[in-house]
């Protein structure tokens, strides 16, 4: 997967990972991919809701140990 930007939100709790992702997506072009690495377990459902509400596509979510990885495509 060709990700254009990645942000590290490890150690941050809701709503900070979402707010940082929103800011990063605003600086990206339509169709570009953003990878967000988080440690907050609630980020799994938070990013699902964020994608539904904003129209950005949640391309992938995975859990890697204590990290939660989210890939979003900018609308």
DSSP assignment letter at 30: T
Contact 73, 42 (CB under 8 A): no
User: Does 5 qualify as catalytic in the annotation?
Assistant: no
Catalytic residue among 12, 14, 28, 59: 14
Neighbours of 75 (CB within 10 A): 11
Q: Which residues are catalytic?
A: 14
């Amino acid at each position: 997967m060709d990700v254009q930007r990645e942000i590290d939100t490890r150690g941050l709790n809701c709503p900070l990972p979402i707010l940082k992702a929103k800011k990063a997506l605003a600086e990206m072009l339509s169709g570009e991919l953003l990878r967000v690495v988080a440690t907050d377990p609630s980020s799994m459902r938070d990013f699902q809701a964020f994608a539904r509400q904003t129209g950005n596509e949640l391309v992938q979510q995975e859990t890697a140990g204590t990290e939660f990885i989210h890939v979003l495509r900018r609308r």
